Amino acid sequence: MRNQELEEKLQQALDDGHNVWVVGDVHGFYQTMIELCERLALNENDWVVFLGDLIDRGPNSFGVVQHVMTEARMATVKGNHEDMMVRQFTMANLQQPGIDVMLWMRNGGDTTVASYMRAHQSSEGALDEPALEACAQQHTEWMSELPTHIVLNRWRLVHAGYRPGTDLDGQDDDDLLWIRREFHASGAPVDPQRTVVFGHTITASLPGRTMADWGKPWESRVILDDHRPSAIGLDTCLYHGPEQKRMLTALNLRTGKTVQQVRVEA
């Protein structure tokens, strides 16, 4: 699913010389996201686009989602974690959790639910369950409408990647949200004209990388005709790994510059 209006706005921003920053997986680390965005020194017409997985694992997924939803020049593609939340975050599911709910919980959904509950507690600690349910519905409806990829003149922004050899306009959402090895190992560009910028898979595990590369962005060794890498990975693993290498990474599509922020939360 694409959002043509959003794509046109982002491309116009680039054409007009403004910055479009693309940010890897935040995973609920709200304070780190805020610190990174402050370091980007955003101007009025700049944009920040997230690669999905705003939620799960970190302590304040509610804060991350609320912020991205309400900032006029922030946008995101859908990640596999948003897809899980859309399918599972209802009060009925939480009260009688099935196997799919438990799978989401084991993959960080427990911290997401906890953050939403904290946001809907009174000063005495009482949970406002109707307000929680209304908020969850509002947020999951927003997530359900997120584009699964963004296509610009020189870039494709997607959470996981593309299936090589499959028509780019006919890609399955499961691949856009979940694919790993087949995309990473492709010996040819999936799009000869565009660099694919993606998250989902921590960069230290991508081809040609070792644990010594933890926290660094990844560039494919497959090169486009204009000498740019065919793919760039930005999931520099904010949620685990060596303490000083738990990074959130932003890439400037206009200049090629990257800015990183080490995790702020304990």
Question: 121-134: per-residue pLDDT in tens?
Answer: 999 999 999 999 99
**Nearest C-alpha neighbor of 140 from the set 92, 83, 59, 63:** 83
Q: Do 3 and 150 touch, CB atoms closer than 8 A?
A: yes
pLDDT number for residue 36: 98
What number is the average pLDDT over the span 92-101? 96
User: CA dist 230 to 182, 188, 215, 248, Å?
Assistant: 14, 8, 20, 21
pLDDT number for residue 229: 98
- Each residue of 191-241: pLDDT tens digit? 999 999 999 999 999 999 999 999 999 999 999 999 999 999 999 999 999
139 pLDDT tier (thresholds 50, 70, 90): very high
pLDDT number for residue 45: 97
At residue 51's C-alpha, the angle toward residues 47 and 53, to 5°, is 125
CA torsion through residues 158, 192, 181, 262, sign: negative
Q: Which domains does the chain have, with CATH numbers?
A: 4-79+149-262 (3.60.21.10)
What number is the average pLDDT over the span 167-177? 96
pLDDT number for residue 233: 98
Continuous segment of H or E residues that includes residue 233 = strand 231-233
pTM across the whole model = 0.98
CA distance 166 to 24: 25
